[in-house]
Chains A and B, each alone.
Chain A
């Protein structure tokens, strides 16, 4: 097992800069998820860890060993690809055994280890089949078995669940998490699905524009987003961000005011999550008109327009509020602790909770 250090990784493809100085530490035995929208550089980062791409600048260090210029075969990594990348001309057994055979493992040991991996992933009965005879979910299990069979120091996963249907995805993501815990392997997992990221990651690195925006536990990222990008990327529906002004500790927003906001002056962006809005309660209350109601059964998403302020606010309320009608006037409220203050120019978070 090994820790991974990425130091100042820069990667260019022609004129486009894919990574502009990525710094990231993955601890030994940790599950690190790289999360971000497409084109944010998460897959490039993973491929640099794998050794499939060389960085233009920066270093990759595995447990104190500089591997920046080593090819994949000298890194003891394994990877699960988005397309699974099973070898179609080999039976499942040979697919899983191939990494061992390359390492010249003795054949009785190969059989023992393939069986071990196949049992872990519950695919013992599929060993004689060819990949095209398997369902997507089964192929996915074979790809994971192949990746763990050598007991790699580092396990890399590139959106491994994105080709599965929703039900299987939910099942597999917890299985992958359990497997990683059980093996204690250092894992880097790439996804654009925030729920998957939260379930699988011990820590999550949110990426955008070729940079790591924030690294933290799912709780940290959700409760203390480092900037407006992370704040709006994490959580669904996304965080409400409205304009406000602070003057002498008085925060004015949405046609109302709240006192005692210390440490920040001038124009700000104010954020609060839809699911933290309550009707008729809260430290900060603002009158609003119901625009539109989306009834999800357990919850209702209510689109509110705030009179006078010209702002739209989304609220996620308990299902009991499904009776709200468009045009209805409500008093919406938020607790002080749920209000985030951001710098309007840089987007950086200035305060979590006022």
Chain B
């Protein structure tokens, strides 16, 4: 009896880790955008969805496979993000957070509405790439190869991003530009361009998560809307703007949610918010946030 439940427990932990990788990738993008640019990017879910659609069209219209889509879709959507930043978000620099939130929320509604208008709500199928079909029998569970790939790949991307921002010179410029843009500009660094590129990068991360999720879920216009609220909770729990915080919290909450799905599945959609409420009561700046 005990043996069976440990097996199930391992399985749920692993499944939680897989879902956590999506949370981590998405909340990382949000944290980068908020931490560096002070924008609460509500369009993140819509851009994630566009990443998945982008992969679908690359495959079905241009015949470009999953692996290329993994590079191309984030680039294309990232460029779109940069354009959005240049044409709209930049005008809100220096204003209250609420303006950016309203703008991106509106953008998300428009994008989702347009996609739903054209593609309906049930979604489009996207197959798992040939090389990653099948799975491994781990004894306590059957682990699909594709899911294992998702965990490894997103963990790598997350750590690379953390390293780039916290440990490299470029990251240092970026952090300095957030603290004091005027001074950094005085050193001859093109701050507005850096901000545009950073927004593009954060959006690219969202699109990357979208491509990763396309073979698992149906490619649906509302796939981002369903996820984004949870991801925001993850960011808030981790501490707004904390890069490592968002990664660790993303994975941790994925695991917690996985366990909830096993012990009390009815609450699996709400557990993240309960934790958010508790964390905010105890640590208003989030677990990794700086006061």
User: Does A associate with B in a complex?
Assistant: no
